Amino acid sequence: SLQHDEFISRLCISSSTISSKLTKALLHAGEKRDTFTYLELYNCQVRHDEQAKLQSLYENGRLHQLGFYEQPRWLMMLEKTNESLNRAERYNFSNVNHNIPVYVQNNLIHH
């Protein structure tokens, strides 16, 4: 799919061992397909030399977003959500008497 189809633009992989075959497909997609521009690897095992090759795609501008994270994606998303909720609760608590509606969108508090 990565080598032949152009429909994959974003790819997030979590808690996996990234094989040389998959790395080769990712490199091919990044070099040959203008549509594949976003790659994040969460809690994945990638050989250092292959990680460096993927990093070069980002440095050359072929990937607009590249991330290597030690934690699983679900844990990072949970922490991000909790941070947003805590910020909203603190903000909401300080505005209790103002009757101003508050909501969280894209980690920003709007009213």
pTM as predicted:
0.68
What is the pLDDT at residue 80?
87
How many CB atoms neighbour CB 33 within 10 A? 18
Q: Bridge partners of 45?
A: 17
The pLDDT value given to residue 109: 46
CA gap 87, 83 in Å, rounded: 6
Enumerate domains of the chain plus CATH numbers. 10-70 (3.30.160), 74-110 (no CATH)
Say if CB 41 and CB 69 are below 8 A apart: yes
pLDDT in single tens digits along all 111 residues of the chain:
666 667 788 999 999 999 999 999 999 998 887 888 999 999 999 999 999 999 999 999 999 999 999 998 888 889 888 888 888 777 765 555 555 454 545 545 444
What is the reported pLDDT for 14? Answer: 92
pLDDT at 110: 44
Q: Rounded to whole angstroms, how far apart are CA atoms 102 and 110?
A: 6
Q: Please, is 103 exposed, middle or buried when counting C-beta atoms within 10 Å of its C-beta (0-12, 13-18, 19+)? A: exposed
